[in-house]
Amino acid sequence: MRPDPDCRLCGLWESRTNIVLPSGNLDSRVALVGEAPGTTEDGQGMPFIGRSGKLLMRILAEAGVSRDDVLITNTVKCRPPGNRDPKPSEMSACRAFLECELSSCEVIIGLGRSACRDLLGYSVNISEIANRDMRISVGGREVTFIPTFHPAACTYGKAALDCLRITAERIARELRR
């Protein structure tokens, strides 16, 4: 299930250039879920290809993981204006698409506070729960959920970068299972 090319389920359609659909291995057991597309992603219609995406891909590559090994998506498919966090109503509008995308995943990595809030159903402090295995329900199935920092947070502190590297190594181990 994908959004209609003229989707208007929420107000984000008014300022989008492109609906940003998932990329990578759509059948992967492991998914990385961010909060929303940025400017570059909106312009090209692909998730995590801007500055944060380049950093994420470099960290994954250091662990031996390529973009083609994992499913990469966002909680919302359109860029919020001014790069603001997506509103709960906007996340809710895209939830059916997200659950369909994650239907074959066994491990879901939540990248950042907003994505984790949407997937867990409550607000969290990433520094307190990063890289802890949790269980969430996606499409009526229980799956492993691993919260971590968004790559953008890594530009502000070494601790976030170190944590994201640990996440990448966990992804590599999971893919080898």
Q: What is the pLDDT of residue 1?
A: 85
Q: What is the pLDDT of residue 155?
A: 85
Mean pLDDT on 1-16: 93
Question: Sorting pLDDT into bands at 50, 70 and 90, what band is 64?
Answer: very high
The phi and psi torsions of 75 (rounded to 5 degrees) equal -70, -35
Mean pLDDT of the chain: 95
151 near 111, Cβ under 8 Å?
A: yes
Mean pLDDT on 8-32: 96
Cβ neighbours for 150, distance < 8 A, ≥ 6 positions apart: 34, 35, 52, 111, 112, 113, 115
Give the integer Cα–Cα distance in Å for 59 and 82.
27
Report the SS3 class of residue 135: strand
Q: Where are the domains of the chain?
A: 11-176
Q: Which CATH superfamily is domain 11-176 in?
A: Uracil-DNA glycosylase-like domain (3.40.470.10)
Question: Sorting pLDDT into bands at 50, 70 and 90, what band is 41?
Answer: very high
Calculated CA dihedral for residues 20, 93, 5, 138, nearest 10 degrees: 60
Q: What is the pLDDT of residue 83?
A: 86
Cβ neighbours for 52, distance < 8 A, ≥ 6 positions apart: 34, 38, 150, 151, 152
pTM for this one? 0.95
pLDDT digits (tens, 9 = 90+) for 113-170: 999 999 999 999 999 999 999 999 998 999 999 999 999 999 888 999 999 999 999 9
Instruction: Return the percentage of the chain with pLDDT > 70, whole number.
Output: 100
Position with higher pLDDT, 155 vs 11: 11
Q: What is the pLDDT of residue 78?
A: 97
